[in-house]
Amino acid sequence: MDERRSAVFVIGVSLLTLLLVLSTIPMSLIPHNHSYELTGDADYRSVVIFRNDDIEPGHSDELRRSVDQLFIDEEVPVTNAVIPTTDGESIATEESFCRELTAQRRANPGLIEYSLHGYRHEPNADGAPRTNGGNSTVRSEFGGLPAAEQRDRLRNGTRIMADCLETTPRSFVPPYATYDNATVSALAAENFTTVAGGGWFTESYYGRTEPFETDSVVHLPEDQGFVKNWETNAFHEPQTLRNQFEDAYTSGEIYVQGLHYWTFDSDRRFEQLESFIRYVKRHDDVLFLTLEEFGDASRDGRLTEAGNGWSYTPADDQPVYDTN
C-alpha cells in the first residue's frame, strides 16, 4: 500500500513539475501545426508581404543593415521603400549608399526589392488632409495635388532611383499612407504597377481594405504596422500583430506588414520583429512576395484566388519563398 501511495506521489510531483516547466515556455516557442486543408486548386493559404519604409542615406544605417540581414537570413522577401531625395537633393550623389544598396539587391534576387517612397517625404500644405489614421493632422505629400505635379514628382523620383540603384521602381509607397485617384493615373502613366498605402486610407477613400485594381494599378493596403503611437514610437503588443496575421491567415487573405527599420532601435524591439517573422514562418502554406511581384502576378493572372486560398505560378527563373 505504501509503495503504491509513494508511486502515486512521485507521478503527481512529476506531472506538476512538467506543468511548471511547460508554463515557463512562451506559447510562441511551442511548435503547433496549423493544418488547414487547402481545397480546390489552392497552393497557398495566405500571401504575406513585408514592406520596410524610409530608406535613405545617413539615417540609422546600421539598423537598416541589420533589418535587411534579418530578412535575408530568414529567407523572407522585403520591399524597401526608398526616399529619393534628402533636403530636396537627389540621393544619387551618395555613391557609397547607392553602391551598397545596388550590390545588396543583386546579391539577393527576389529577397530585396526597392520601391519609390514619395519624393521629398514631406507633407504638402496643398495635400489632402488625413481622414483618420489616428489623430495626426499630417497632410498627404501626393493626394490632393494637381495631376501634372504628381506625375513630375514620380518621374523625378524614378530617375533618381534608376541613377542610384540601377533599377526602375514599379511600386510606389506614398508617405503618410495617403494618395488619390490622380496619383493612380500618374502611376499608370509612369509604368508603375502597384501602390501600397494605408489600409485605413483605402478604407476611407475607396471603401476597401483587401487588394484591388483601378486604372490597371494594383492597390495593396497595409494591414498593420508595428508602431502604435507615432509620438512615442511605442509598438503594438506582439499579440496584436499576431492576431491580425492570424485573422488574415484563417480567412485565406493577403497580409501586408508595414515596418520602419529605424524603429527597431533596441535589442528587445529588434527581437519583436524577428519573432514575428518566425511566427509567420511557422504557419503552413504561406507565400511571401515583394510588392512588384504581387502586382505583376496579379495583373498577369499568375496569382489568383482559388478554393480557400491562392494559386500562384512564378515567372520563369523566379525563386519562390514559401513555407510549403
- CB 134, min distance to Zn ion, A: 15
Nearer to Zn ion, 40 or 129 (CB): 129
Cα dihedral 157/158/164/169 (nearest 10): 130
Nearer to Zn ion, 263 or 298 (CB): 263
Give the C-alpha separation, 193 to 215, whole Å. 10
Nearer to Zn ion, 236 or 282 (CB): 236
Nearer to Zn ion, 54 or 222 (CB): 54
Grid coordinates representing 80 are 524597401
- CB 50, min distance to Zn ion, A: 15
Grid coordinates representing 317 are 527563373
Contact segment (CB under 5 A) with Zn ion among 43-51, 53-61, 108-116, 287-295 equals: 53-61
Positions in 136-175 near Zn ion (CB under 5 A): 175
Residue 141 phi/psi, 5-degree rounding, is -80, -25
Burial readout 104-137 (b: 16 or more C-beta within 10 A, e: otherwise): bbeebebbbbbbbbbbbbbbbeebbebeebeeee
Query: How many positions of this chain bind Zn ion (CB under 5 A)?
Result: 3
Give the C-alpha separation, 48 to 248, whole Å. 9
The CA radius of gyration of the chain, in Å to the nearest whole number, is 22
**What kind and span of H or E run contains 214?**
strand 212-214
Cα dihedral 74/113/295/171 (nearest 10): 140
- CB 81, min distance to Zn ion, A: 7
Nearer to Zn ion, 175 or 309 (CB): 175
- CB 260, min distance to Zn ion, A: 7
- CB 108, min distance to Zn ion, A: 22
- CB 298, min distance to Zn ion, A: 24
- CB 54, min distance to Zn ion, A: 4
Nearer to Zn ion, 46 or 85 (CB): 85
Give the C-alpha separation, 317 to 261, whole Å. 30
Contact (Cβ atoms closer than 8 angstroms) between residue 48 and residue 220 = no
Give the C-alpha separation, 290 to 136, whole Å. 29
Residue of 44, 48, 54, 303 interacting with Zn ion (CB under 5 A)? 54
Positions in 104-133 near Zn ion (CB under 5 A): none
Positions in 169-208 near Zn ion (CB under 5 A): 175
Give yes or no for residue 43 binding Zn ion (CB under 5 A): no
Nearer to Zn ion, 180 or 322 (CB): 180
Give yes or no for residue 53 binding Zn ion (CB under 5 A): yes
Contact segment (CB under 5 A) with Zn ion among 47-55, 84-92, 195-203, 308-316 equals: 47-55
Contacting positions for Zn ion (CB under 5 A): 53-54, 175
